[in-house]
Homo-oligomer: A and B are copies of this chain.
């Protein structure tokens, strides 16, 4: 019978200053040694007397630790024969104590991950976590201007007592009150005439794209994608086996004729007609009608992502593609991440009737309805008029913030960037001198704590001049000057401004 009293004793370190009781420290350390394989199954432990002497610890404390370890199956005690590590803990390899660093995704062999995960290589999410104060990241809204006190008041309404309605699984399709408020809102704001039955609440538009890809795409099915276009949406559809067919963006949006030339029988098309993402073009009526007619003839689906159409600063808003579609081929996706805040994790899809049940069935298995509490608050926020007021205020605020930022960028960096104000959305496109690599530039800026997105990240086949996406919604007017100065200094340090001087 192996014995390792020495080994055990040498590794026990009791911290008498700690708030953790000594018996518990002993319990945790012995268990850790068993779990890590350092104390092997069958090993006999020193007697409580020995331990008590060596560790200067009362036998009661040691017995307490042993009892718990025995109860949990780590130790077994044989009367007369002492206490042993359970045999089920035999033959365990010993971990090295240093936690290994995860390898980079690209280092992982396919024997380890699915081929599908190839599509995710190089996706970076570092920016989201931190987001330094001088960040110009697009898609970040004006958190400082959110009506928190109203939100708090509405939230507390639903916290009085615990009910199954609020704590249980909730309506799979989403809270009816919220679906009704959304149906009313999109009718007024987007010309969409739908019933609450066609609305399904999701945890952000991205989840909708994922579920729609699963529902509608077979492996090898082709789909048309705007180029440049929505990166995460494209990957979500590719991850479901879809083959991407990139369609160039011109001043009218995508052109069905190009799609017909490249792949006439695509299963679906992903488009952002009201404000093309990322270029900001508005799709013309003619192109919209052509797209709908093609989808109707070809029994194809149109996913319309309408993410921040609320923020249009001039030019008249066009009704959604969904509103023009009399053939029930358009699926409309909206989100509250921009209009309210991203961490709310609420979005919605408006489906043709035929897709409602299949989508919900899929959704029932893939996830559940988002937290009822947050849906209820959002519904109240909409029904009681706070929502439209908030959009109006943000529209004015973002317009002012854009103006201030454009002014500063033109004043301080007008010779480096070519910038024109946008009619809608939350980011500018800053065109760079033709010889620069926007991707490298963005990465370098990131190291200086300045976050932007390079346009080339959004491009598939159709190469565009280098440019940076610069978000303006989260930069207060009075900080525009300082932030652009920081940007200019960084560019100068990096040696990009020499040619301009």
Contacts and interface: CB of A to CB of B under 8 A. Distances in A.
Interface in A138-170: 140, 143-146, 148, 151-152, 155-156, 159-164, 166-170
B116 A366 contact: no
A497 B102 CA distance: 60
Contacts of A121: 361
Contact of A120 (B151, B152, B207, B358): B358
B162 A146 contact: yes
A217 B364 contact: no
A32 interface: yes
Contact of A100 (B94, B167, B345, B353): B353
A10 interface: no
A100 B327 CA distance: 13
Contacts of A191: 31, 35, 72, 74
Nearest to A286: B88
A100 to B, nearest CB: 5
A377 to B, nearest CB: 11
A334 B190 CA distance: 41
A362 interface: yes
A340 to B, nearest CB: 8
A239 B353 CA distance: 23
B341 A168 contact: yes
B370 A345 contact: yes
Interface stretch (A57-65, A208-216, A249-257, A464-472): A208-216
A495 interface: no
B35 A323 contact: yes
A435 interface: no
A129 interface: yes
A437 interface: no
A193 interface: yes
A19 interface: no
Interface in A434-490: 474
B299 A365 contact: no
B342 A168 contact: yes
B316 A365 contact: no
A170 B72 contact: no
Given A102-B357, A151-B159, A357-B103, A371 B374 contact: yes
A481 B239 CA distance: 52
Contacts of A360: 125
A389 interface: no
Interface in A215-272: 215-219, 221, 232, 235-236, 239-241
Nearest to A341: B167
A120 B361 contact: yes
Contact of A318 (B73, B100, B366): B73
B216 A113 contact: yes
A354 B115 CA distance: 16
A279 B236 CA distance: 36
Interface in A89-121: 92-95, 99-105, 108, 111-117, 120-121
6 contacts: A28-B187, A99-B353, A102-B358, A128-B368, A143-B163, A203-B368
Given A72-B318, A73-B316, A103-B357, 12 more contacts: A73-B285, A93-B327, A102-B354, A105-B357, A113-B216, A114-B240, A120-B358, A143-B167, A167-B342, A170-B343, A204-B367, A236-B365
Closest 3 pairs between A and B when the two form their complex, measured CB to CB: A167-B341, A88-B285, A125-B364
Interface of A: 28, 31-32, 35-37, 71-74, 88, 92-95, 99-105, 108, 111-117, 120-121, 123, 125, 128-129, 131, 140, 143-146, 148, 151-152, 155-156, 159-164, 166-172, 187, 191, 193, 195, 197, 203-204, 206-207, 210, 214-219, 221, 232, 235-236, 239-241, 285-286, 288-289, 299, 316-319, 323-324, 326-327, 341-345, 353-358, 360-362, 364-374, 474
